[in-house]
Structure 1
């Protein structure tokens, strides 16, 4: 997914001289290589020095530039957190953090490279926008929206490629019409929710499916968007606390929000995505099994 961000920025930099890219020695893995090849004069290889890289980007932003900082989400959200907190969030510097390998599926890189609670860390910072696109078009849309504003931002991108979702990109939109029992997700979580939705729909169940591309700030009209929903299962490529579900709960809407994410004691493993998701209870059948009781209660209630 991060390749699409690097390609977009390489194109956009032809028109916007403010765009610079910094990378933490992962350009061929996190998408920054596409920008490096076309704009080497505006590319900074900072090496394995994420804290210094974020501080450098903050200084560049203070001079009117729009830096995009590429690395794995784990290194940006954890290793450089103090620099993000002070240099970007508190100072309001318009630096965009592009976190590849966000979520719990880091493949052979293993637990040290997974970012399973990065949304909790980043969404807790004031002024920092958080985006979790679920397809190539949404990556480009998020970058355009970020560049149109003047806030720091965190762009969370999974390691695995994702297909575009139907419909036009937006901060939040229904992929399937809203129902009293609905599913929601962001990023890879939306695709996991869609897989569970397909399984339940094949059994004759009617559920809504909501995709949230910008978990923070949530759209101001989200309350109206969710009108008529009484139970919302939020499928998370994140721990069940601190992610999209927790952010939705903060809205204090008249509905039951049920986050379904990685188990609280899950510390991560190496392995194929599908195997890891099954171990974490995020495969389609396990999710469907956890949702069926709410559907049965509604039918019998």
Structure 2
């Protein structure tokens, strides 16, 4: 622990203002339990820099261990996700996936391997991430391989517009305002994904339960509800959507924003506390076996709040 404290102190004195700046024992801004978790999880950690993500709850840590660089998100009790930086060469697995997808042609950088995640929808052999500039906008790619429902390897690729994210199934990781909101509404917390941009501004995607139904809500940096409902309504006819939502799709198709002319294959609308939102599932038409998919969550002004692309290759 002494070695970590010395390394941490030196590094932080040289770091940017948004990092922890005073780890003195008499006024510790980084709890001892967080530093102990780092020392326990990494062999001889050096050049350690902490950045607080959620006040007194969640920290981002960058460090070196055995000549390798790591980036992790952790609470005082557990690591939420941990990545190892892997260099600049484009992995063959990603190159092959991109070449068969509609989002090829962008610029890649910042490769890293996901070495640990607290929970995931699927168990992958290996999972990688990379920064990706596509059509002039920044995204993060995530791809992995798994055996799913049979002996054949399945490859998944996902592109999202956030710089980083971490999952949690611990209600105590949520801001107090959200915890109070869930309690007031009688919602049972299931899990959440916290998305962050380059300035660590957060968007909370939260899965909840009430009256035999699971649903998700989206909250902004200040814990304001911006989308979702406990009673979403399926939309079967695009004419049931507001004109501005239909115009958004038409404009995006005309400008090839999705990489293909999209066909809407799923729609729903939600309203809670006066906040309206719409979910659209888009596929490439005329290709029945194609898995290129866009999931887009829009507010009532047709502003995308959450959008990501995914594809699966067998």
* TM-score bin (small chain): under 0.3
Query: Which of the two has higher C-alpha Rg?
Result: 2
**Structure with greater strand percent:** 2
Q: TM-score, normalised on structure 1?
A: 0.27
TM-score using structure 2 length: 0.26
